[in-house]
Amino acid sequence: MPRVKVALAGVGNCASAFIQGLLYYSKFEKEEDCVGLRNPILGGMVPKDIQVVAAFDVDTRKVGKDLNEAIFAEPNSAPKTVEVKPTGVKVEKSPLLDGLGRQTKNFVQVSNAVDANVSAVLKAAKAEVLVNLLPSGATKASEWYAEQALTSGCAFVNATPNFIASSQSWAKRFEQAKLPLAGDDLVDQVGSTALHKTLLQLLSKNGARIIETYQLDVGGGTESLDTLDRSRDTKRIIKTQSVESAIPYKAEVVAGSTDYVDFLKNKRDSYFWISGTYFCNAPMQIDLKFSTVDAPNAGSVLFDVVRAARIALDKKLGGAILPICAYAFKRPPQNTGLEESVANFEHFIKQNA
């Protein structure tokens, strides 16, 4: 029997990678065979203990379809890694609200189906964790799904950069409801921000002095387009603050998304530049390019977050769960260093599982 029942708000590329990953890793019996996962076992739970029981979207090519079809429907462009058999989970029509930006309207075909009663669907499916995978600029829609989690008694995971877990008012409401909240802005497993922070920490610990640094991301896919269109400034603030937290002194830091390139599809290119000094004020510069496929970057981290959220539910912990937030998100309520955040997360799992 599944131990974590998950609902997905948004059936885009990240949802596709997440669902394919559940099938891909379910075939491995040994922990050492689960290459690509940070935690094959977490709190006694393995990936096949996770089951997607409900999903919501607005695109007519996905609404009403089984998840095995919907995750490969356009405009999704995540790579296909496994054959997905019918799941028995039909994608329900969600309210549009501000789910589409000016540019993404040209790519998404909005369904004219009647909006589902999301709360009723979540309750009927016995969903325990609702994961918000909506576009970055969907502020009202993200908050609406947070309301549905409260109404339905679900833990809420906000993978978007919209301020929910880092909002005191939202955190308090989830605390009062004794429901776990985690967010905001999911980190990538091998993401540019984590790599940038690790380089800066390594240099600083070795006695180098960072003077200036930037990180610029270029990507394809509808998420990159929506970021450029509606949430570029928010993403820049979040990424810049996250990178700044890796340096124990003041330096000039810029980090954010810069452009959309359609032919990159679900790929992302990140560019880093670091300038500083070391022994006897000798100058130093680093200039790097880092390329990834975007959607799979969410999989391993989401596996950890939904299992940790289930542990928090079992312990009846409410509000923003700080060890989960700092471990898995770029904009947690409280920023901590990489090593400290990992140590705190591991302690949380060990203490509560």
- pLDDT tens sequence for the chain (353 residues): 568 999 999 999 999 999 999 999 998 888 999 999 999 999 999 999 999 999 999 999 999 999 999 999 999 999 999 999 999 999 999 999 998 877 777 889 999 999 999 999 999 999 999 999 998 889 999 999 999 999 999 999 999 999 999 999 999 999 999 999 999 999 999 988 889 999 999 999 999 999 999 999 998 877 787 777 777 788 788 889 889 989 999 999 999 877 888 899 889 999 999 999 999 999 999 999 999 998 999 999 999 999 999 999 999 999 999 999 999 999 999 988 788 999 999 999 999 98
| CATH number of the structural domain spanning residue 264 | 3.30.360.10
Please name which of 47, 41, 51 lies closest in space to residue 27, comparing C-alpha atoms.
Answer: 47
83: Cβ contacts below 8 Å, ≥ 6 apart: none
Residues 48 and 168 in one domain: yes
Task: State the pairing for strand pair 252-260/209-219.
Answer: parallel
Rounded (10°) CA dihedral 75, 77, 81, 83: 20
Question: Domain range holding 70?
Answer: 4-187+297-352
The per-residue pLDDT for 226 is: 75
| CATH number of the structural domain spanning residue 159 | 3.40.50.720
The per-residue pLDDT for 1 is: 59
**Distance of alpha carbon 104 from alpha carbon 289, whole angstroms:** 27
Let me know: does 182 contact 39? Beta carbons within 8 Å.
no
Residues 322 and 343 in one domain: yes
The per-residue pLDDT for 2 is: 65
Tokens of 267: 């790929």
How many structural domains comprise the chain? 2
266: Cβ contacts below 8 Å, ≥ 6 apart: 13, 77, 78, 79, 220, 221, 293, 294, 295
Please name which of 74, 71, 91, 77 lies closest in space to residue 21, comparing C-alpha atoms.
Answer: 71
**Distance of alpha carbon 232 from alpha carbon 138, whole angstroms:** 13
Going along 22-96, which residue ranges are E strands? 50-57, 91-93
Residues 137 and 103 in one domain: yes
Bond into 185 cis (ω within 30): no
- Domain closes at, from 278, 293, 308: 293
Please state the pTM of the whole predicted model: 0.90
Residues 125 and 241 in one domain: no
Please name which of 223, 203, 241, 343 lies closest in space to residue 293, comparing C-alpha atoms.
Answer: 223
Residues 153 and 211 in one domain: no
Residues 175 and 216 in one domain: no
Residues 21 and 56 in one domain: yes
Residues 86 and 198 in one domain: no
Tokens of 102: 């000016």
Let me know: does 228 contact 268? Beta carbons within 8 Å.
no
Residues 149 and 231 in one domain: no
- Domain closes at, from 293, 314, 330: 293
Tokens of 275: 């300038």
3-state SS, residue 111: coil
Residues 144 and 180 in one domain: yes
- DSSP 8-state code for residue 164: S
Residues 158 and 206 in one domain: no
Residues 169 and 197 in one domain: no
- Domain closes at, from 293, 315, 342: 293
Please name which of 85, 94, 175 lies closest in space to residue 133, comparing C-alpha atoms.
Answer: 94
